[in-house]
Amino acid sequence: MIALENVSKRYSQSVALAPLSFAFRPQATTVLIGPSGCGKSTVLRLLAGLVFPDNGRVMVNDLQLSDANLADLRQQMGYVIQDGGLFPHLTARDNVTLLARYLRRDNEFITQRLTELSDWVRLPSALLDRYAQQLSGGQRQRVALMRALMLDPPLLLLDEPLGALDPITRYALQGELKSIFSQLKKTVVLVTHDLHEAAYFADQIVLMRDGHVIQTGAIDDFQKRPVAPFVSEFVTAQRGHVPLAN
């Protein structure tokens, strides 16, 4: 079970999360969506143990996340931070394989997995020897995804993992990722600001605002049963000003 129990978090002056309780469905995809600054990345940082809550408990695999178990629990997680977070002084290949090599996985496994992952994310293998700053934003995101998937972790925390991709690559990767999530029965927490993407991936959508959860449900619930005017505003804004003709 992955859950936040009465978790609150402040950064100096600002409240990032109001006391918030939420249980993430195991082996399902939960999508966090909401305006910039509403606390989406903070939820992922808490689940990954990059920050600790001021109050309340973060539960991962039924254990309260703490300094004592963080290293072990982190090995159960693949985490793509917003903007990739690759190590700039390492090549793409070394970024992807760092943890596997540290854990002394055998070379054959690592090589085979690299090939499989670069196919999945459609990254030409020639790019694997480049340093992070020699890659475009979209290429960096694909390397960050490869790194998160390398050890096939049961829990995936993905912070706007497709935001920097061009539409064609993004469309292809959405399809690849969705089949990875469902075939491999991953527990996924994915952040996006795109309601279409949320609807495509989510078993459950969580709409946040100002550190609170405003509504949870399927896309239909947001469209047909909004619990607050803000929900309708959010849905309408996502339709855009110029609907494309079919």
**Partner in contact with 97, chosen from Mg ion, ligand ADP, none, beta carbon below 5 to 8 Å by kind:** none
SS3 37: coil
Give the torsion sign (CA, 238, 78, 186, 139): positive
**Contacts of ligand ADP in 26-65 (CB under 6 A):** 36-42
* CA separation, residue 53 to residues 17, 33, 69, 72, 208 (Å): 9, 21, 16, 19, 18
Q: CA–CA separation, 57 vs 101, rounded Å?
A: 32
Instruction: Find the binder of ligand ADP among 12, 133, 183, 246 (CB under 6 A).
Output: 12
**H helices, E strands: number in the chain:** 9, 10
Least distance from C-beta 39 to ligand ADP, angstroms?
4
Told to check if 19 binds ligand ADP by CB under 6 A, we report no
Told to check if 41 binds Mg ion by CB under 5 A, we report yes
- Would you give the binding string for Mg ion spanning residues 82-121, x where CB under 5 A is met? x---------------------------------------
Residue 17 vs 128, nearer CB to Mg ion: 17
Residue 92 vs 202, nearer CB to Mg ion: 202
- Would you give the binding string for Mg ion spanning residues 68-87, x where CB under 5 A is met? --------------x-----
* CA separation, residue 215 to residues 70, 118, 148, 204, 223 (Å): 30, 37, 29, 10, 11
Please measure the distance between the N-terminal and C-terminal CA atoms of the chain and give it in whole angstroms.
42
SS3 99: helix
Site residues, Mg ion (CB under 5 A): 41, 82
Site residues, ligand ADP (CB under 6 A): 11-12, 14, 16, 36-42
